[in-house]
Amino acid sequence: MSDDVVYLNPPGTCPAQGLYSHAARVRGGTTYYIAGQLAVGADGEVVGADDFDRQFAQVFSNLGAVLKGLGCDFNDVAKFTTYLVHSQDIERFMRARAALFPKLFKSELYPPNTLLIIDRLVKEPFVIEVEAVVSAPDA
Amino acid sequence: MSDDVVYLNPPGTCPAQGLYSHAARVRGGTTYYIAGQLAVGADGEVVGADDFDRQFAQVFSNLGAVLKGLGCDFNDVAKFTTYLVHSQDIERFMRARAALFPKLFKSELYPPNTLLIIDRLVKEPFVIEVEAVVSAPDA
Amino acid sequence: MSDDVVYLNPPGTCPAQGLYSHAARVRGGTTYYIAGQLAVGADGEVVGADDFDRQFAQVFSNLGAVLKGLGCDFNDVAKFTTYLVHSQDIERFMRARAALFPKLFKSELYPPNTLLIIDRLVKEPFVIEVEAVVSAPDA
C-alpha cells in the first residue's frame, strides 16, 4: 500500500458523475500498467455469461489477484478505465461499485475512472472490462 | 507550466490526422491522471444537450478547472483521449479544436490525442468526453 | 532498448486472453505517450481500405517509425491499447499479431494490451488503431 497515490477533487471543479475522483496525483515510485481485466476463470473460460453482477465480481477479483501478485492493492490504483458493452448495465455497475469499493479502498475518495460504452470485447459474452494504471513505492 | 512535457513528431513518421502530435516526452515530475471530463455544470447537470459545440466548450472548461485546481495548465498535458458518440460530430470537433487550442497552448504543437467514436457515455445526452494524463514539476 | 520495462503474469492470475501480459512494470526513466497510430501512408492518405491485414501492417510500421524516431523500440512499450472497428477482424488481429510479435519483441512475453471494439475511427475506412505508452532510460 502506497502513500504516493492521492485522489483529488480540486476546488472549483464540477461534481463527479459517480464514485470517482477527478484526478490522482502520483509522485515517483514504480508504475504498473495493467491490461484490461475480464470475467475469466482460472481455466481461462468466461465466467458469468449473461450475468453482469457475476462478471463485475470476477473482473475485480481478477484485478485484485494481479495487484496482489505485484505486491500492491487497490489503494495503489491511479486510474481505472471501465468498458461496458450494454448501456443497460450502467445502473448495475453503479450499484455494484457502491457496494464493493468501500471494502477495497481505505479512503472515502476513489480513483479517477472513465466509463465508456463500446461495441464489444474480445469474446462476445464479456460485458465488462476494467484496466488500471497503478503506482507503488519502489521495492 | 512545466518544461518537462515536450510534444514530438519525429522525422520519418507519417502526417498526423489532426491537431495532435505523435508523441509527448515526460521526464520525471509528478503525474496526474484525470478522469474523463464531461459537459457537466457546477450543479452536476448536463450542459448543452443536443449541442455539440456547447458540450465541447464545457468539457474543456471543466478540464481547465481541474488543471487549475492542480496548479497546472494545458501545457502540462501529456496525452488526451477524446471520445465522441456521433461520427457526425468529428468535423465539428476538428473545427472547435482548431479554434480553441491556439488559446490554450503556448506551443504550435499540441498533445498526442487518440480520437475514438464509441456507443455512449455515462448519461445519454453526453456526446463528448476528454480524459488526460498530465505531468508537472514536483511541487 | 531498455531493461526498465518488465512484462509480468503474476502467480495466481487467470490466463490472458491473447498474446499479452497482465502487467508491465516501469521504474523511473522517460515516459513517452504515443497517439493512436492509424494506417496512414507518408502522403497522409489511408493505406489498405477494406484490407485489415494491410492496415495492421501499416499501423505497426507507423508505430515502429515513431518508436525509432524517439530512439526506442518495441521492447520499450509498457502498454498497448488496440481499437478495432469490426468484431469480424478479431481473429485476423490475433493471427497477424502472432505472426508479427516474435519479430518485434526480444522476450516471449508481450506488453499488456486492452482490445476494444468500437464504432469508428477518425476516418471511415480505418479499421484498426493502436496507441502505446513507452518507457525508455533517461537519455
Given this model, what pLDDT does residue B138 score?
83
Q: With an 8 Å Cβ cutoff, is C121 touching chain B?
A: yes
Average pLDDT, whole number, for chain B?
95
What secondary structure letter does DSSP report for B47? S
Averaged pLDDT for residues B46-51: 96
Cβ contacts of B69 on chain A, cutoff 8 Å: 8, 10-13, 22-23
Question: Considering chain A, what is the average pLDDT of its residues?
Answer: 95
For residues B88 and B121, the answer to whether their CB atoms sit within 8 Å is no
Span C36-84, pLDDT tens digits: 999 999 999 999 998 999 999 999 999 999 999 999 999 999 999 999 9
Q: Do B26 and C33 touch (CB under 8 A)?
A: yes
Nearest CA in chain C to A34: C23
Which H/E stretch holds residue C65?
Answer: helix C52-69
Per-residue confidence band for B4, with pLDDT thresholds at 50, 70 and 90: confident
Strands in chain A per DSSP E: 5-8, 23-27, 30-37, 77-84, 113-117, 128-136
Scanning the structure block, which residue is given the C-alpha cell 503506482?
A: A135
Of A18, A27, A116, Cβ closest to residue B118: A116
Q: Which residues pair with C139 in a beta bridge?
A: none
State mean pLDDT over B45-57.
97
Q: Which of B56, B102, B104 lies closest to B83, judged by CA?
A: B56
In this predicted model, what pLDDT tens digit does every residue of A41-55 receive, in sequence order? 999 999 999 899 999
Q: Which amino acid is at A91?
A: E
Cα C82 from Cα C117, distance rounded (Å): 9
Residues of B in contact with C30 (CB under 8 A): 25-27
Chain A, chain B: beta-carbon pairs less than 8 Å apart: 96
pLDDT band at C2 (very low <50, low <70, confident <90, very high): very low
Longest dimension (CA), chain C: 48
* pLDDT at A139 > cutoff 80: no
Distance CA B83, CA A34 (A): 21
Q: Chain A within 8 Å of B66 (Cβ-Cβ)?
A: yes
**Coil vs helix vs strand at A97:** helix
Q: Provide the pLDDT confidence category of residue B3 given band limits of 50, 70 and 90.
A: low
Is A42 an 8 Å CB contact of chain C? yes
Contact A119 C87 (CB under 8 A): yes
Predicted confidence band of residue C1 (pLDDT cuts 50, 70, 90): very low
CB spacing of C8 vs A70 below 8 angstroms: yes
What's the rounded Cα separation, in Å, for the pair B54 and B51?
5
- For residues B53 and A125, give the distance between their C-alpha atoms in angstroms, rounded to a whole number: 36
* Mean pLDDT calculated for residue range B109-115: 98
pLDDT more than 70, % of chain B: 97
Cell 502472432, residue located? C98
Tell me if A122 and C11 make a contact (CB, 8 A cut-off). no
**Quick one: pLDDT band at residue A3, thresholds 50, 70, 90?**
low
pLDDT of B49 higher than 50: yes
Strands (E), A56-112: 77-84
User: B40 and A14 in contact (C-beta within 8 Å)?
Assistant: yes
Contact C82, C93 (CB under 8 A): yes
pLDDT digits (tens, 9 = 90+) for B57-108: 999 999 999 999 999 999 999 999 999 999 999 999 999 999 999 999 999 9
pLDDT at A128 over 90: yes
Mean residue pLDDT of chain C comes to 95
* Structure confidence at residue B63 (pLDDT): 98
Nearest to A80 by CA among A129, A116, A132, A21: A132
* Side-chain half-sphere exposure of B13, counting CA atoms within 13 A: 27
What is the rounded CA–CA span in Å between residue B122 and residue A87?
Answer: 8
Hey, is the C-beta of A41 within 8 angstroms of any chain C C-beta? yes
Q: Can you tell me the distance from the alpha carbon of B108 to that of B115, in angstroms, rounded to the nearest whole number? A: 20
Say if CB B40 and CB A15 are below 8 A apart: yes
Task: Name the phi and psi angles at A114, rounded to 5.
Answer: -110, 125
Predicted confidence band at C3 (pLDDT cuts at 50, 70, 90)?
A: low
Do residues B137 and B2 lie in contact, with contact meaning Cβ atoms separated by under 8 Å? yes
Q: pLDDT per residue over C23-39, tens digit each?
A: 999 998 999 999 999 99
Rounded CA separation A74/B54 (Å)? 36
CA–CA distances in Å: residue A8 to residues A109, B48, C77: 8, 26, 29
Q: Flag whether pLDDT at B131 surpasses 50.
A: yes
Cell numbers given for A86:
450494454
Which residues, including other chains, have CB under 8 Å from residue C49's CB and lie 6 or more apart? Answer: C125
Nearest neighbour of A14 by CB, restricted to B36, B41, B68: B41
For residue B2, the model assigns a pLDDT of 46
SS3 A74: helix
Mutate to test the interface with C, among B4, B6, B9, B17 (most CBs of C within 10 A): B17
C70 contacts on B by Cβ (under 8 Å)? 8, 10, 23, 25
Distances (CA, A) of A22 to A17, B77, C1: 10, 15, 35
Using 50, 70 and 90 to split pLDDT, how confident is the model at B1?
Answer: very low
